[in-house]
Amino acid sequence: MQYRKSITLFFFISFFSGCGDKHAKVEKPRPLLHNRPAGFWENKQAIVQVMHFYSRVNADNTGKPILDTNGKFTTTAGMSFGTGFVVDTNGLVGTNNHNVNETCPIVMAPAKITTPLPDECPLKTAITPDQLAAPLPAEAYAVCVVKASGRDCYAAEIFAADEDNDLALVQTKQRLPHAVEFVDDSDLVPGDDVYFWGNVGLFLPPSPFFGRYIGRVGPPYFNGDKNGKYYGNLLPILFMDIYLAPGNSGSPMFNGSGKVVCINYSLLPSSVMGVFGGRALGMCIPSKKFIQLRKKNPWPKPTSQPAQTPKK
């Protein structure tokens, strides 16, 4: 008993002797990205919500259309939701292909709209929850881009897509406030701090998430799970010690300098690879894949130029 009292008294004196001494040296914690890294607030303005309302003909495993009792095509209508980012302020937005294309194999399960659309959204009158609950023509679909303010909503259409790497560019006629900047992901070093602004749904503003870069994995080390769900030609994959919630896919991942190094794709469940201690890992698409998509699909600049005063 006396021994325990001595140990307790020792730690008590050691702790408070340092707290009361102005000259006592306290090791400062390592600065974290939570301390507003470069371009932190500006990059928030480049984040948008991407919603895709779709309808498609149902088919079996062989690709044969499924017919109803009257011999007519059966259709499925629904909505997918994710995050996008402004690539060009003249209306070009980047995101995951599965956010805007229902033919992608990992498209979200069809469901009715449960979140009411903002009054400003043109799709509010174009597609309603009642319409989504009923069969729609197979070609009926629309994409809606919502700005970071959470209120302004604009119709958009697919400009270019890379299904192999699950990337897409969508265009809207609306001018957008801020565009992100990309850098080559080859400069990433395991342990580098990263962050992203992600949408949590309900038309709320984007929220910041922080983590660290772990490394990249490619074939033959990562070819798929038992369900065949991962992921075709989508390799290499960048792994982040960061949680990606539904709605975060398509969001750009920033480094400490505020530049995009990869795009969020999906979450690797802890059950797939136990070598990471049972922790779920964020899976991201390298920035160079998106840079290649941009080069293959140049964005036309506005042709109209502001009037210039003739030189005298």
pLDDT tens across 252-286, in order?
A: 999 999 999 999 998 876 545 544 555 678 889 99
Is pLDDT at 64 greater than 50 in this prediction? yes
> Distance of alpha carbon 51 from its chain centroid, rounded?
12
All structural domains of the chain with their residue ranges: 40-219+235-296
State the pLDDT confidence band at 3, using cuts at 50, 70 and 90.
low
pLDDT for the residue 66: 80
State the pLDDT confidence band at 202, using cuts at 50, 70 and 90.
low
Residue 289 sits at the vertex; the CA angle it makes with 257 and 198, to the nearest 5 degrees, is 55
State the pLDDT confidence band at 244, using cuts at 50, 70 and 90.
confident
pLDDT for the residue 233: 53
Domain 40-219+235-296 CATH assignment equals 2.40.10.120: yes
Name the least confident of 41-55, 78-92, 156-170, 295-309: 295-309
CB burial of residue 119 (10 Å; 0-12, 13-18, 19+): exposed
Name the least confident of 5-9, 51-55, 156-160, 278-282: 5-9
- Encode pLDDT of 142-198 as tens digits: 455 555 555 567 777 788 989 888 899 988 877 888 999 999 999 999 999 999 998
Taking residues 229-249, report their average pLDDT. 76
CB burial of residue 199 (10 Å; 0-12, 13-18, 19+): buried
pLDDT for the residue 123: 46
- Name the 3-class secondary structure at 3: helix
Q: Contact 252/180 with Cβ under 8 angstroms?
A: yes
pTM metric for this prediction: 0.69
